[in-house]
Amino acid sequence: MPNQIYSATLEVKVNGTALPDAVATRLTYALVETARRLPGMFELHFADGERTVLARSGLAVGAAVKLSVRSNEPGATELFDGEVVTLEAEIGPLGALTIVRGYDRSYRLLRQRRVAAYQDQTVADIARRIAGDHGLTASVSSQVKHQHVLQAGTSDWAFLHELADAEGLAFSVSGTRLTLADPATAAPGSPRASARTDATVLQYGANLRSLRAAVTASDQVKEVEVRGWDPTNHKPTVATATARTSGVKIDQTPAKLATAIASSPRLVHAPQASTQAQASALADAVADEVGGAFAELEGVVTGNPALAAGGKVTLAGLGAPFDGGYVLTRVTHRFEPGETGYTTAFQVSSGADRTTRGVLSGGGGAGAALAPRVGGAGGSGGGPRLVLGVVTNNQDPDSLGRVRLKLPTLSDSAETWWSHVVMPGAGTERGFSMVPDVNDLVVVALPESAAEAPWVLGGLHHPKVKTPATKEQIKAATAMWVSKSGMTVQLVEKQGSESIRLSIRYAEGSDEDSIVIAKDTSKGISISSKGPVAITADGDVTVKAKGKADVTADQDVSVKGMNVSITGNQKISLKAPQIELAGDAKIAAKAAALELKADGMAELSASGILTVKGSLVKIN
């Protein structure tokens, strides 16, 4: 009958050449395994008492290996295309063995970590660049362009999986081709499905040797909610998706099971989802990942080369709710001549933790492939992490400079308790103090314990709340602090004219008054004002200069006091087109010699008696 394998032989090709018969007949065990989110691998065991297998076969580290199955069916079915990574020699009860292990070429992506930045590139652009570095080509279905993506010390494997997960794509490598594409979708089962006519049918009473099937409501939710942040419009991006899975199609769904146990939505904190499209794509991907944990299979069938991880199968003969379509997540082909022969083990699983602890903590695996990459799925006990917050109240009843917050990437309504603000140099009656205003966007550290208040680490500017500094000020200043009312402290580090500028602006768009302390010795300290300048003291005021002192005004200069004293150590000069001296009671002029001289006429007069007196008086 078609699709019934009565005999099977594993064909091994090394660098395109089949193994010599003298080596092929020494093969005692072979294993080929493919799995989602892991590199495919193979293992070959040879009886090698004469220690000639490696020399005769060409098997060496780096050698290309293709493994295929030839059965009573026409042609050969390829199982694996990769390269040798490890050679081993083993001596034991079975005699001397040579063991060869290898992986598909995706393992190359795990061998190094890198730091790289990708600007204005699509996922396809990034994947092609990385694949090319490892001798691979890339096929990517997504053309979404990212403004900036940072690979921060992660392996290329983890980084590409992260990009794929964010867009709901499946990662795979076949031969030298890397693919990021939509994941396979399970097909609904048919009551007429038969392993006798279809190699992808797993049927009780036909090709199934063993099976464990499970349908569970553990870790299931009715819907997934993803919360991100749109920095351009200063608002959260929120997307929801009904729990579902493309990997299982049976007479049951994740949403039905979740309804049966009254579960709440699964929250995913994803601050990098800055657009609605990104949030929606991630919600769909997480919903599929979580939903995939509701049904699991694990079993063994008679050797079947048609089965591979990511491939679609139909389970038949067990009845509801188990019969239906599935997408395989792990497949292991084993060849044991003289023992069990050729068998194929298969698995359908999300990787969820089914222990009591795992069930109570949310399953561990369902959605874990995606959620940790986007900052966790929320909840307490997961360790401190950073989120965005918006200040809702800064009137701390204890006057400690604390604030209350909303966390828009987690919830629209929940408000934190009074949270401390990290301030430079904070200590007993010292430190910088500037409490964030209501509606300010801040970075918040959430503590491990849900009973503790968060900490505010600092504020952020964004397109809706721009920096108060102009481009010119930012270019000129090394550091700048601006208060809400426009008072500015600016440190200017322009070589040769470094300065500290203290400025006050009285109204929006008005001119600034400033005090400048300049490094340039010719300028010293400069006080500049567009309006009046007043210096007031309750006590004495002293102005002292070791050099010259100059008081200049474009208009009047007035000096007024109870008693005014002007002393010159050498000379006092008064010069003006006109000089008037007036005293309400008396003017006294006294000197060792007194000279009054006019270049023109001179007049000496008094409204009363005029007295001119001297030991000798000369008139002309």
Placement of tokens 């003017």 in the chain: 587
80-104 core/surface letters (b: 16 or more CB in 10 A; e: else): bbbbbbebeeeeeeeeebbbbebbb
Distances (CA, A) of 403 to 29, 390, 450, 512: 67, 10, 17, 32
Residue 243 is inside which H or E element, if any? none
Q: What pLDDT does residue 46 have?
A: 97
Residue 601 lies inside a defined structural domain of this protein: no
Q: What pLDDT does residue 449 have?
A: 57
Placement of tokens 């394998």 in the chain: 5
Residues 74 and 118 in one domain: no
Placement of tokens 């481009």 in the chain: 471
Residue 466 class from Cβ within 10 Å (0-12 exposed, 13-18 middle, 19+ buried)?
A: exposed
Residues 94 and 123 in one domain: no
- For CA atoms 498, 500, 506, 509, the dihedral sign is positive
Show which of 328, 345, 370 is a domain's final residue: 370
Residue 375 lies inside a defined structural domain of this protein: no
Closest by CA position to 158, among listed 373, 386, 375, 351: 373
Residue 255 is inside which H or E element, if any? helix 254-260
Residue 331 lies inside a defined structural domain of this protein: yes
- Spatial distance between the Cα atoms of 372 and 284, rounded to a whole number of angstroms: 16
Q: What pLDDT does residue 371 have?
A: 41
Residue 618 lies inside a defined structural domain of this protein: no
Show which of 107, 140, 165 is a domain's final residue: 107
Residues 314 and 216 in one domain: yes
Residues 260 and 354 in one domain: yes
- Spatial distance between the Cα atoms of 555 and 138, rounded to a whole number of angstroms: 80
Low-confidence ranges of the chain (pLDDT < 50): 1-2, 353-383
Closest by CA position to 228, among listed 281, 274, 166: 274
Residues 236 and 341 in one domain: yes
Output phi, psi for 130, to 5 deg. Answer: -70, -45
Helix (H, G, I), strand (E, B) or coil at 127: helix
Residue 290 structure tokens: 């979580």
CB 517 within 8 A of CB 525: yes
- 321 cis-preceded (ω within 30 degrees of 0): yes
Residues 416 and 363 in one domain: no
Residue 223 lies inside a defined structural domain of this protein: yes
Helix (H, G, I), strand (E, B) or coil at 371: helix
* Cα 435–chain centre separation: 26
Placement of tokens 């990290």 in the chain: 422
Closest by CA position to 276, among listed 208, 206, 323, 226: 226
Q: What pLDDT does residue 233 have?
A: 86
Q: What pLDDT does residue 483 have?
A: 76
Residues 209 and 285 in one domain: yes
Output phi, psi for 281, to 5 deg. Answer: -65, -40
Q: What pLDDT does residue 10 have?
A: 93
- Spatial distance between the Cα atoms of 180 and 173, rounded to a whole number of angstroms: 9
What ranges in 303-376 are assigned the alpha helix state H? Answer: 356-360
Q: What pLDDT does residue 200 have?
A: 93
User: For position 403, which CATH number holds?
Assistant: 2.40.50
CB 57 within 8 A of CB 23: yes
Residue 91 structure tokens: 């001596």
CB 239 within 8 A of CB 226: yes
Residue 328 is inside which H or E element, if any? none
Q: Where are the beta strands (DSSP E) in 123-182?
A: 137-140, 145-155, 170-174, 177-181
- Spatial distance between the Cα atoms of 572 and 570, rounded to a whole number of angstroms: 7
Q: What pLDDT does residue 285 have?
A: 83
Closest by CA position to 385, among listed 407, 368, 400, 366: 407
**Backbone Cα Rg of the chain:** 43
Distances (CA, A) of 383 to 420, 446, 454: 18, 8, 12
Q: What pLDDT does residue 56 have?
A: 96
Residues in the chain, total: 620
Domain coverage including residue 319: 201-370
Residue 113 is inside which H or E element, if any? strand 113-122
336-370 core/surface letters (b: 16 or more CB in 10 A; e: else): eeeeeebbbbbbbbbbbbbeeebeeebbbbbbbbb
Q: What pLDDT does residue 365 have?
A: 45
User: For position 75, which CATH number holds?
Assistant: 2.30.300.10
Residue 279 is inside which H or E element, if any? helix 276-291
CB 284 within 8 A of CB 247: no
Helix (H, G, I), strand (E, B) or coil at 415: strand
User: For position 141, which CATH number holds?
Assistant: 3.55.50.10
Residue 297 lies inside a defined structural domain of this protein: yes
Placement of tokens 């899975």 in the chain: 245
Residues 210 and 280 in one domain: yes
Residues 150 and 237 in one domain: no
- Per-residue DSSP letter, 182: P
Q: What is the DSSP code string of 521-565?
A: TTT-EEEE-SS------SS------SS------SS------SS--
Residue 65 structure tokens: 């290996």
Residue 404 structure tokens: 């209350």
Residues 246 and 361 in one domain: yes
Number of domains the chain contains: 5
Residues 48 and 142 in one domain: no
- Beta-sheet pairing, 201-203 with 312-316: parallel
Residue 2 lies inside a defined structural domain of this protein: no
Distances (CA, A) of 80 to 5, 348, 394: 19, 20, 63
Output phi, psi for 55, to 5 deg. Answer: -65, -40
Residues 54 and 23 in one domain: yes
Q: What angle do CA 173, 174, 180 make, to 5 degrees?
A: 40
- Spatial distance between the Cα atoms of 598 and 284, rounded to a whole number of angstroms: 103
- Spatial distance between the Cα atoms of 490 and 618, rounded to a whole number of angstroms: 70
Residue 439 lies inside a defined structural domain of this protein: yes
